[in-house]
Amino acid sequence: MLPTLLPDHPIAALATPPGTSAVAIIRISGFHLINLLLPILRHPNGQPLSPSDLPPRQLKRLDLHDPETQQPLDQAMVVHFPAPRSYTGEEIMEIHGHGSQVILQRTLEILSDIGIRPAQPGEFTRRACLNGKLDLTRAEAITALIHASSLRAAREALRQMEGSLHHKIETLRERLLTVLAHLEASLDFADEDIDPLPSPLILGELSSATEELGKWLRQAPLGERLRDGFHLTIIGRPNVGKSSLFNHLLRRKRAIVSPTPGTTRDCIESRLEIQGVPVILSDTAGLRQTDEPVEAEGIALTREKLRQADGVLLVLDAGTGLTPEDESLLQEISELHGIVVWNKMDLYARSHELKIASPRTTVQISLRTETGLDELEREIASFLLPVSVDGEGAIILAARQKETLTRALRALIECETLIVHKRPGEVTALPLRAALEALGELVGHVTHEALLDRIFSTFCIGK
Ligand SMILES: Nc1nc2c(ncn2[C@@H]2O[C@H](COP(=O)(O)OP(=O)(O)OP(=O)(O)O)[C@@H](O)[C@H]2O)c(=O)[nH]1
Ligand SMILES: [Mg+2]
C-alpha cells in the first residue's frame, strides 16, 4: 500500500458542489492539522499564526497563503474541530473560502504539497464509522438524505439518520442472540440434564422475527417510491381535460391543450412534488376506438404506461356525464389504485347525476374556473401515501440493505424449518448464526474491507 493511502493519513476534499459559488468549503480530516496548516495560514494583517489563535469550533477570519508565490491566495473563514468531537472523530479543519474554481484547485494542490491527500468518495463518513461516530445504517441514511428528491424522502432519511433503523435492527439482534444462546446451551449441556428453552418458545421468537423482517421488506417498495417518485398516470377519453390537468399540477404549460379531441398523441412525463410527495406524472393520449395509426400507437403507449402505474387519475367530463366509453375505462382500471376526477364542473347543468358504480374516491374540479384543485392535490397525496404509513415511517432501504435483510430472512426461515423437523442444535444454530451475521453487517458489526468499499463508493467526495 502506498504510504499516502494509509487510513489515518490526513485527507482533504471540497465539501460543497464543484463550480462557481459565493462560498466553498474545503474539509480536512486527520491529526496534528494545526501544525500542518500553520505555514499556509496568516492573520489578515499578514502576521503568522500560532496554534492558540484557532480556538475550537470558532470561525476565524484568516488569509490563505500560497507558499510558492509568497502571496495571499484567498480571504477565508477557518474553523477547527479537535478530536474526537468532530464528524469523523479525528481532527477536522474547514476552510470556507470563495467559490472560485482556480482558487479551490490551487488550495487543494497546496494541501497536497504539505501532505494532505485528496479524499476518496465517502472517506470522511467511512472514517466516522470506523471511529464509532456512526453506524452503517446512519451512514447510508446520509446518502439517502443528500440524494432525497422530495421532502418526504428527506424526512424519512433524517429519521433513519437519527437511528430508527439501527434501533430496530439492534432490538431484533438482541432477541435472536438470546435464542442462539439457548440453542447453543442445548449443545454444551446435551449430556447433562439441563432443559433448554422448549422449541415452541424458540419457534415463537423466530416467527415473530421473520414477521418483523418481512414487514420491513414489504415496506421497502414504498421507501423506494419515496426516494424515486410514484408513477401517476392521467387517463380518460379525448378532450376531457387531461393535458389541462397535467399542466395545472406541473404549474407550467408543458402539454398542448386544444379543443380538438385527440390532441395528445404521445406520452408526456414530468417529475414534480404534490404536497411533498414525489411523483412522476404522465399525460397520455385520450383512449378511444380509432383507425388513425399515430393515435392508435399513442393509445397503445397509454396502456403500457398503465401497467407501470402506481396510481391513475381517471378524468371524466362533468358536462357530458358518464359515457359508455367511460364505463369500460372504469372496468379496465378496476384493479388499479386511483382517483376519479370530474372535470369541467363549470359546464355541469345538473341534467344527469355524477355517479360511478365502483367505490372510488371522486373529486369534482373545474380547470377553467380553478375550483376543487387544492382538494384534488390533497386526495392525490393521501392516496399515494396513506397517513398511517407515514406515521409509522416507511423504511428507505439501499439495494445492499434489502439484499442483506432478505438473506437474514431466508436464514431464519431455514432455521425454523430445521427446528420443526427436530434437527439437532448444532445444525439449527448454523442458519441462525448466518442471520445474525447478516443483521450485524447492516449495522456495521462486520466491517469487511470489500463491503465498506462498496458502500462508500456511492458517496460524494467530501462526505
Ligand atoms: N369548460 C371547461 N373547459 C375545459 C376545462 N378543462 C379543460 N377544458 C378545455 O377542454 C379542451 C380539451 O382540453 P385538453 O386538456 O387538451 O384535453 P385532453 O384530455 O388532454 O384531450 P386529448 O389530448 O385530445 O385527449 C380544451 O379546450 C380545454 O381548454 C374545464 O374545466 N372547463
Ligand atoms: Mg391532451
Spatial neighbors of 39 by CB under 8 A, at least 6 apart, are 65, 67, 114
Grouping H, G, I as helix, E, B as strand and the rest as coil, residue 74 is strand
Question: Which atom from ligand 1 is nearest to the alpha carbon of 244?
Answer: 15
Q: Confirm if 440 and 446 have CB atoms less than 8 A apart.
A: yes
Domain spans of the chain?
3-135, 141-224+398-443, 229-391
Amino acid 190: pLDDT: 53
Residues 229-391: name the CATH superfamily.
Answer: P-loop containing nucleotide triphosphate hydrolases (3.40.50.300)
Question: Which atom from ligand 1 is nearest to the alpha carbon of 283?
Answer: 20
Grouping H, G, I as helix, E, B as strand and the rest as coil, residue 223 is helix
Q: Confirm if 195 and 364 have CB atoms less than 8 A apart.
A: no
CATH 1.20.120.430 assigned to domain 141-224+398-443? The reply is yes
- How many angstroms does the Cα of residue 200 sit away from the middle of ligand 2? 61
Q: Which residues line ligand 1 (CB under 6 A)?
A: 236, 238-244, 257-259, 261-264, 286, 343-344, 346-347, 366-368
Amino acid 139: pLDDT: 82
Instruction: Please give the span between the terminal C-alpha atoms of the chain, in angstroms, as a whole number.
Output: 23
Q: What is the DSSP string of 244-269?
A: HHHHHHHTS--S---SSTT---S-EE
At 194, which amino acid appears? I
- Whole-model pTM? 0.66
Spatial neighbors of 205 by CB under 8 A, at least 6 apart, are 175, 176, 178, 179
Give residue 127's Cα distance to chain centre.
Answer: 22
Grouping H, G, I as helix, E, B as strand and the rest as coil, residue 87 is coil
Pocket-testing residue among 235, 245, 257, ligand 1, by greatest number of atoms within 8 A of Cβ: 257
Radius of gyration of the chain (CA): 30
Residue 327: name the closest of 287, 361, 296 by CA: 287
- How many angstroms does the Cα of residue 294 sit away from the middle of ligand 2? 14
Three cell numbers, residue 326: 367511460
- How many angstroms does the Cα of residue 441 sit away from the middle of ligand 1? 55
- How many angstroms does the Cα of residue 334 sit away from the middle of ligand 1? 24
Element (H, E) at 17: none
Residue 20: name the closest of 77, 74, 97 by CA: 97
Q: Confirm if 314 and 383 have CB atoms less than 8 A apart.
A: no
The answer, yes or no, to whether the previous bond of 293 is cis (omega within 30 of 0) is: no
Report the phi/psi class of residue 270: left, alpha or beta, with left for phi > 0 and alpha for psi in -120 to 50.
Answer: beta
Q: Confirm if 393 and 223 have CB atoms less than 8 A apart.
A: no
Task: For residue 19, give Cα distances in angstroms to 13, 419, 461.
Answer: 14, 60, 14
Burial of residue 452, with CB atoms counted within 10 A of its CB: 0-12 exposed, 13-18 middle, 19 or more buried: middle
At 235, which amino acid appears? I
Q: Residue-wise pLDDT tens for the chain (463 aa)?
A: 333 445 678 999 999 888 888 999 999 999 999 999 999 999 999 999 999 999 999 999 999 999 999 999 999 999 999 999 999 999 999 999 999 989 999 999 999 999 999 888 888 988 988 888 888 888 888 887 877 777 777 877 887 777 788 888 889 998 998 888 877 766 655 555 545 556 788 899 999 999 999 988 887 877 778 778 899 999 999 999 999 999 999 999 999 999 999 899 899 999 998 988 889 999 999 988 888 889 889 889 998 888 889 999 999 999 999 999 999 899 888 888 899 999 999 999 888 888 887 788 999 999 999 999 999 999 999 888 765 454 455 567 777 888 889 999 999 999 999 988 888 888 888 999 999 999 988 887 655 666 567 667 766 667 7
Amino acid 443: pLDDT: 82
Alpha carbon distance 436, 446 (integer Å):
11
Domains 141-224+398-443 and 229-391 share a fold: no
- How many angstroms does the Cα of residue 243 sit away from the middle of ligand 2? 4
Task: For residue 321, give Cα distances in angstroms to 9, 241, 345, 348, 349.
Answer: 73, 14, 10, 8, 10
User: What size, in residues, is the chain?
Assistant: 463
Residues 3-135: name the CATH superfamily.
Answer: Probable tRNA modification gtpase trme; domain 1 (3.30.1360.120)
